[in-house]
Amino acid sequence: MVGRHAARSRRAALTALGALVLTALPSAASAAPLPAPGAQPAAVRTPAPAAPSARMLRAMERDLRLSPGQAAARLANEQEAGTRAGMLRNTLGDRFAGAWVSGATSAELTVATTDAADTSAIEAGGAKAAVVERGLAELRSVKEKLDASAVRVRTRQTPVWYVDVKTNRVVVQATSRSAADAFVETAGLAGRDVGVRISAKQPRLLTDLVGGDAYYINDQARCSIGFGVTKDDQQGFATAGHCGDPGATTTGFNEAAQGTFQASTFPGKDMAWVGVNSDWTATPDVKGEGGEKVQIAGSVEALVGASVCRSGSTTGWHCGTIEQHDTSVTYPEGTVNGLTETTVCAEPGDSGGPYVSGTQGQGTTSGGSGDCTNGGTTFYQPINPLLSDFGLTLKTTSAAAGTPAPPQDNAAADAWTAGRVYETGTTVSYAGARYRCLQGHQAQGVGSPESTPALWQRV
């Protein structure tokens, strides 16, 4: 695995890792953006996205096979779709069964419900309705039974399982039908509860090849820097949990003393963070396509089907789409739950690097299969659970450039708090009003609920 057992390798050309950024322009592409819902008040419209860099758009066009102009349109559509999906999710409640975007420019948003009577409301919200049998909560309860079973049995022949909102089922990826059937039976589930995908692919941790800007663990092995973070006055960076144990020391790409692993979780999750010494400063900057410096503004979770790009120390900047969230993966070293599966390629040495959708950080590379010559599948550890578990604050351009939100006027237990990670549907109080979260994210100090209608809906 990365950072624990491999011999150290050195090369002169190293490229820094961090949170790669895509920003979105108002659509000027051939495909139309998502239709505006007829009853939606102006106050809940998403703000105009910032201009993306030309290099990043070219990388999306290359990897997603888009024509010139489609990448910017896609990012703008995905930003707006996330807000609409959050509003509809809160409206549907237990009937909500998932949401995803589709099409070359993500111009179509689909929201699934278990009740056909919701169709009109979904269409009025600017989305296509899909009526399905099971709500998202029921699907997750099925997956949780598989998660529990994986603690008791070996799952190398059933290395991946996840909730697939597009097909409204839980899917097990297995090397054979018999292996899948045995895993499902051990979990106490019936065949109709779980779909099976037969594949010979065996995910592994992406380890031990020198690529771009790296850091070294205990002067023996290496990993890649993910996102800049802070905890109180301590600066540092997020990375993959399999890179090192708490207390392991790190040196930077320049071989200078750097920091110490403050916390690490692997397996189960694949998350860690390193606290650095005063010679290093956490920033929102990352080297992207062609070494261009880019930045992130937050950690709003992207929808299934959305575009996502990754920076890695071996293969650099590559893009793809999100296949599904809440995926469980068994590596030789153990099972990790709660990962996100993508179509982005990666190779050994890319582990720990960041995934970004638009201007929003998504997670850090865990592992995968395939390569960037023939294509592959990768999984990332979502950044919001990492921030929440370790009590970290993501370093963003928003905090650096904005005006802090006004202080709270009450001490309510559910008062909105900057730095806290909020899940979709969470209700908070702020300035005498109540708001419901539309998209999972870490609250930035410059963006109160009343000033971020793309993330909060007043109730």
Contact of 8 with 250, CB cutoff 8 Å: no
- Please count the other Cβ atoms lying within 10 Å of the Cβ belonging to residue 177: 10
Instruction: Tell me, yes or no, if 429 is annotated catalytic.
Output: no
Cis bond upstream, residue 267 (ω within 30): yes
270 is catalytic: yes
| From 242, 318, 325, 441, active-site residue | 242
Q: CA dihedral defined by 434, 440, 442, 446, rounded to 10 degrees?
A: -50
Residue with the two structure tokens 């599904």: 324
User: Using only C-alpha atoms, what is the Rg of the chain?
Assistant: 21
Handedness of CA 147, 151, 155, 159 (dihedral sign): positive
Q: Which of 149, 299, 328, 351 is catalytic?
A: 351
Q: With H, G, I as helix, E, B as strand and everything else as coil, classify residue 385.
A: helix
Helix (H) or strand (E) holding 83: helix 70-92
Closest CA to 108 of 299, 343, 306: 306
Active-site annotation holder among 118, 164, 213, 270: 270
3-class state of residue 211 by DSSP: coil
Residue holding tokens 């039908």?
177
SS3 148: helix
Half-sphere exposure of 30 (CA within 13 A, CB side): 6
Distance from C-alpha of 213 to C-alpha of 258, rounded to nearest angstrom: 13
Q: Tell how many helices (H) and how many strands (E) occur in the chain.
A: 7, 28
The answer to whether residues 442 and 299 touch, using CB atoms and an 8 Å cutoff, is yes
How far apart are alpha carbons 37 and 74 in whole angstroms?
Answer: 18
Query: Is residue 164 among the annotated active site residues?
Result: no
Cα dihedral 307, 311, 316, 317, rounded to 10, equals: 20
Q: What are the catalytic residues? A: 242, 270, 351
